[in-house]
C-alpha cells in the first residue's frame, strides 16, 4: 500500500543525522545502461523509490533479469543476457520520463525500438529533440507518430554538438556512442554528477570515455562490454532538500556522506539566502542558529537566484529554495529558467501566508520572513511536493498533504526518515490497494 496523505504537525525543531539516498537521476540511466552488456551487473546504493521500481519493471519487460538483493535492499542485480525489441509497455512508460533512456541500449542490442512518449512530472514542456538529433548523427533513422520508432542497422561514431546540454539527451547519446563503432565527440554535453556517475559506470564495464565532468566527452566506441559492480553516489538534490529542511525548521542537522565535492553551487545558493553550511570530511552540517538574511547584490540591489546547467544551481532545487526564502529576511527574485510550470505551486504557499508575487511562469519575487499557516495542499510534482512538506513542517498547526505518491517517486521512505529526526508526520494509506 502506498501513502496517499501526510498529516503534518508543524512548528517543531528537528535534530540528528540523516543519510541521503543514492542519486535517483544516476540510478535511472545506469539501470537502463546495464542493458548494453550481456554480462551480469550489480548496482549498489540504488534508491527504492517508485520511479526506479517502474524502470526495473520495464527492464524485465524486454527480457532482462533484475532482482533486488535479499541481504541489502539497495543492491540491484541485472543480467541482460538476451533482450528483445518489444513494444514497451505504454502504461509503465507514462509513469516516468526515464523510460526514454531505454532507447539507446535497445538500439545497440536489437537495432530497433518502439517507445511510447515518456511521462513524468507535469512541469512544462520537456523536449526530446536533443535525443533524436544525437541518434540521427550516430546513424539512426526514426519515425514519430503515437510512438517513437527508431532503427539503426549500425551505430557509427560522429562529431555531435548537442543543441542544448540536456541531461537525458546526453545520457542517451553517451550510451549509443559507447556501442557505436569509431570515435564520438559529444560537445555541449551535460556534466551533472549523475551524468558523471553514468560515464564512470560505463567505464567500469570497459567503455573508453575521456572528459568526464566536462562538456566535451570523447567516446571510443565499439569495444565489448563486460559485467561489473558499481556504487551510485549520494543524491545532491536530496542533500539540498535537507539543507532547506534544517533552515525552515531552525534545526541542527548533520547530512552524512553528502558528497560535498558536488555541492559548491548548492551551498552558494543557500548562502545567498543566509543559510551557511560547514563540512566535516564528507558530512555537511547545518546549524540551528543561522543569519537567515538574504544577501543583497552590491549597491543594495535586489538579488536573484536562478537555475542553470551544471555546475550552477540545480533546477530541481528551485522549489526548495523558494520555501526557504519565505523564512529569510529580505527580498529575492527566484528565476526558474527551465520549466514554465514549476513555479505554479507558489499559489499554495501564498495561501499559507507566504509573501510571494508570481511575476510570470518563470519568476517569483519572495519577501520574508513570513509566518506560514497550516493548510491542506496537493503535491503537484516531486520537488514541489517536497517543498510543500517543508512548508508544512515550518507552519504552525496541522497540515494535510495529498497526492504524496509524487513525493515518494523521488524521496525514499521520507516520512519515516524525517520522523527519526523528530518530525511529526502521520502517514495515511489507501486501503483499497
Q: Can you say how many angstroms the Cα of residue 14 is from the centroid of all Cα atoms in its chain?
A: 25
Nine-digit cell string for 341:
510550470
- The number of CA neighbours under 13 Å toward the Cβ of 24 is 24
Answer for the pair 171, 29: CB distance below 8 angstroms, yes or no: yes
Describe the crossing of helices 382-394 and 318-325 by its angle, rounded to 10 degrees.
20
Catalytic residue numbers?
Answer: 121
Q: How many of the other CB atoms lie within 10 Å of CB of 83? A: 19
134 burial via Cβ count (<10 Å: 0-12, 13-18, 19+): buried
**CA trace torsion 326, 412, 20, 199 (10° rounding):** -110
Instruction: Check if the beta carbon of residue 199 is closer than 8 Å to that of residue 209.
Output: yes
Opening angle at CA 164, ends 162 and 167, nearest 5: 90
Give, for 357, the enclosing helix (H) or strand (E): strand 355-360
Q: Are 276 and 291 in contact, with CB atoms under 8 Å apart? A: yes
Amino acid at each position: 500500500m502506498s501513502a496517499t496523505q501526510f498529516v503534518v504537525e508543524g512548528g517543531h525543531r528537528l535534530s540528528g543525522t540523516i543519510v541521503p539516498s543514492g542519486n535517483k537521476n544516476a540510478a535511472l540511466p545506469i539501470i537502463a545502461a546495464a542493458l548494453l552488456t550481456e554480462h551480469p551487473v550489480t548496482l549498489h546504493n540504488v534508491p527504492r523509490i517508485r520511479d526506479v521500481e517502474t524502470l526495473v519493471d520495464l527492464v524485465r519487460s524486454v527480457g532482462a533479469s533484475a532482482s533486488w538483493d535479499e541481504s541489502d535492499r539497495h543492491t540491484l542485480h541485472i543480467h541482460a543476457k538476451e533482450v528483445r525489441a518489444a513494444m514497451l509497455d505504454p502504461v509503465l512508460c507514462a509513469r516516468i520520463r526515464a523510460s526514454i533512456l531505454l532507447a539507446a541500449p535497445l538500439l545497440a542490442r536489437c537495432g530497433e525500438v518502439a517507445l511510447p512518449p515518456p511521462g513524468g512530472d507535469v512541469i512544462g514542456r520537456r523536449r526530446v529533440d536533443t535525443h533524436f538529433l544525437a541518434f540521427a548523427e550516430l546513424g539512426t533513422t526514426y519515425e514519430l507518430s503515437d510512438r517513437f520508432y527508431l532503427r539503426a542497422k549500425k551505430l557509427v561514431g560522429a562529431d555531435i554538438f548537442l543543441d542544448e546540454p540536456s541531461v537525458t539527451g546526453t545520457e542517451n547519446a553517451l550510451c549509443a556512442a559507447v556501442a557505436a563503432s569509431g570515435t564520438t565527440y559529444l560537445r555541449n554535453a551535460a556534466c551533472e554528477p549523475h551524468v558523471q556517475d553514468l560515464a564512470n559506470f560505463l567505464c567500469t564495464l570497459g567503455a573508453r570515455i575521456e572528459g568526464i565532468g566536462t562538456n566535451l566527452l570523447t567516446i571510443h566506441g565499439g569495444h565489448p562490454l563486460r559485467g561489473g559492480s558499481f556504487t551510485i553516489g549520494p543524491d545532491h538534490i536530496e542533500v539540498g532538500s535537507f539543507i532547506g529542511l534544517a533552515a525552515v525548521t531552525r534545526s541542527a542537522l548533520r547530512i552524512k556522506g553528502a558528497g560535498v565535492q558536488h555541492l559548491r553551487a548548492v551551498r552558494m545558493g543557500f548562502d545567498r539566502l543566509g543559510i551557511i553550511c560547514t563540512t566535516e570530511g564528507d558530512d555537511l552540517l547545518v546549524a540551528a542558529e543561522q543569519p537567515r538574511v538574504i544577501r543583497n547584490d552590491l549597491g543594495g540591489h535586489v538579488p536573484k537566484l536562478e537555475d542553470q546547467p551544471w555546475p550552477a544551481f540545480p533546477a530541481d532545487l528551485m522549489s526548495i529554495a523558494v520555501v526557504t526564502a519565505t523564512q529569510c529576511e529580505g527580498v529575492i527574485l527566484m528565476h526558474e529558467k527551465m520549466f514554465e510550470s514549476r513555479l505554479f505551486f507558489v499559489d499554495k504557499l501564498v495561501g499559507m501566508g507566504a509573501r510571494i508575487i508570481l511575476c510570470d511562469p518563470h519568476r517569483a519575487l519572495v519577501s520574508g520572513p513570513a509566518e506560514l499557516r497550516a493548510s491542506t495542499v496537493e503535491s503537484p510534482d516531486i520537488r514541489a511536493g517536497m517543498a510543500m512538506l517543508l512548508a508544512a513542517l515550518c507552519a504552525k498547526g496541522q497540515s494535510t498533504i495529498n497526492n504524496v505518491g509524487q513525493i515518494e517517486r523521488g524521496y525514499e521512505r521520507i516520512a519515516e526518515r524525517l520522523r527519526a529526526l523528530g518530525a511529526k508526520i502521520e502517514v495515511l494509506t489507501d486501503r483499497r490497494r
